Amino acid sequence: MSTSQASGFKQLHVAVIGGGIGGLAAALSMRRAGHRVDIFERRGFDVEVGASISCAANGSVHLEDWGIDVKSMSPVALMKLTMRDWETGQIQGVYDLSDYEREWGRVYYMLHRQDMHKVLLDAATAEDGIGIPCQVHNNSPCDTVDLETNTVKFLNGTSIQADLIVGADGIRIGVKPDIKTSPQTCYRCNVLTEDIKRLGLVKHSYEPAIQFWGGSEGKNGRSKYYKIVMAPCSNGEVVSFYCFMPTELTNHREEGFTFKEAPVSDILQGRYSDLDPECLALLKNSRERMPWRLYVHQAYTHWINKRTCLLGDAAHPMMPHQSQGAVQAIEDAGALGIIFSAKYPEFTRDVEAGLRLYQAIRKPRATRVQEASARATENVGERIGFTSIQVEDESLRPSEGSLTVREMNEYNMHQHVAAEVAKIRKARDAPQEMAHL
């Protein structure tokens, strides 16, 4: 056994900056790995935006590792992805998910963001369960991070020193983002299933499917940036919409989410007048309409600096067109919990080495998804799932080498980490072995 393997596990004090989905996932993963975790959130949790989140098998595998019963998040088990014509609603292509659980061992879930956030927060802070309960500090926006002393200062005047800092919100650690305005922006809104039934609106809206309208060059010069993604969540009680349109049509000018409801007229602009009448009727009866300004980010040069790392949207902000943003943050969190576990105790005593491994494991995969998400901005046919079906419309056909369900779900992070650690240990032990010759 090498010296590094013989070294004992060291419990770390971890500061997680950001209490969104990624931050809570990181906190829970590190708690389960045996560490002491403080979570710092810039706001309270009462402003958490209500919208749907996809959780494919490559995300739920980590939730299960942390002892989360995904069914406690009030999910909808998806059965298909349906591509529809913008004007008529006619089905153009279907990716069947009925065999998904049999093939991948888990259901493809659609979750409501608030449901998912609550379960993660409860699991991270609960008195029961493996590990020390995480401590939450609300109204703690980050001011500065001293990378030499590993100290975080907050705008409320407090500070904390930690062994490992996870930046899930508002930390750049020397990264200089290469950002450009997306040609497409988004409004998110919800329709209650009880309203759909009461008003006699289209029934397929609350079927267990993600449904897409538009996303390609349309009739009479309609822009490909018009697209709608609709999905049921919260035990089927809510139907969530992502309504995309050309950026020049929106008055919203700031990146990220806005917590002030927009009038329905902000959504129903431009070519929305040509939209499938059944979908249009749903949008007219929507609520919780929030603008979401989108930007295209190029891959960052690095995610780590000394004993600080980035995670989730802070590390790989991406367009939302692959439904993998939250799942990739969960994968990031899973990697941290595996690398800094008792199975690999050397990294708990050499945090910088552990973070180098984290970046090597996660950055290539997340960057590939990030780039694929940008391509799907231009063509909905690049979306995972649709890349595996044949459609008549050539403009909806994916490029060679596009992401597939198989590529995302066959990946095994435990095996990947184990293989990379074996290489590191072999290289580290080689000089000792030579000395005994």
8 Å CB contact between 256 and 292: yes
Q: What is the pLDDT of residue 433?
A: 59
CATH topology of domain 179-296: D-Amino Acid Oxidase; Chain A, domain 2 (3.30.9)
Q: What is the pLDDT of residue 3?
A: 38
pLDDT tens digits for 233-278? 999 999 999 999 999 988 765 555 556 789 999 999 999 999 999 9
User: What confidence category does residue 47 fall into, taking pLDDT thresholds of 50, 70 and 90?
Assistant: low
Q: What is the pLDDT of residue 221?
A: 87
Q: How far is CA 292 from the centre of its chain?
A: 15
Average model confidence (pLDDT) for the chain? Answer: 92
pLDDT tens digits for 109-136? 999 999 999 999 999 999 999 999 999 9
Burial class (CB in 10 A: 0-12, 13-18, 19+), 210: buried
155-173 in b/e burial notation, b at 16+ Cβ within 10 A?
eeeeebebbbbbbbbebeb
Per DSSP bridges, beta strands 308-310 and 142-146 are unpaired
Q: What is the pLDDT of residue 6?
A: 44
Q: What is the pLDDT of residue 2?
A: 40
Domain ranges of the chain: 3-74+113-177+300-432, 179-296
Rg of the chain over CA atoms, in angstroms? Answer: 22
Joined tokens for residue 237: 């009680």
Q: What is the pLDDT of residue 261?
A: 86
φ/ψ of residue 244, rounded to 5: -100, 150
* Alpha carbon distance, N-terminus to C-terminus of the chain: 17
The torsion of the CA quartet 352, 415, 371, 240, rounded to 10 degrees, works out to -110
pLDDT tens digits for 383-418? 999 998 877 777 778 888 899 999 999 999 999 999
Q: What is the pLDDT of residue 389?
A: 86
**What homologous superfamily is domain 3-74+113-177+300-432 in, according to CATH?**
FAD/NAD(P)-binding domain (3.50.50.60)
pLDDT tens digits for 149-192? 999 999 999 999 999 999 999 888 999 999 999 999 999 999 99
Joined tokens for residue 53: 């989140």
The torsion of the CA quartet 133, 136, 142, 144, rounded to 10 degrees, works out to -40
Residue 113, number of CB atoms within 10 A of its CB: 20
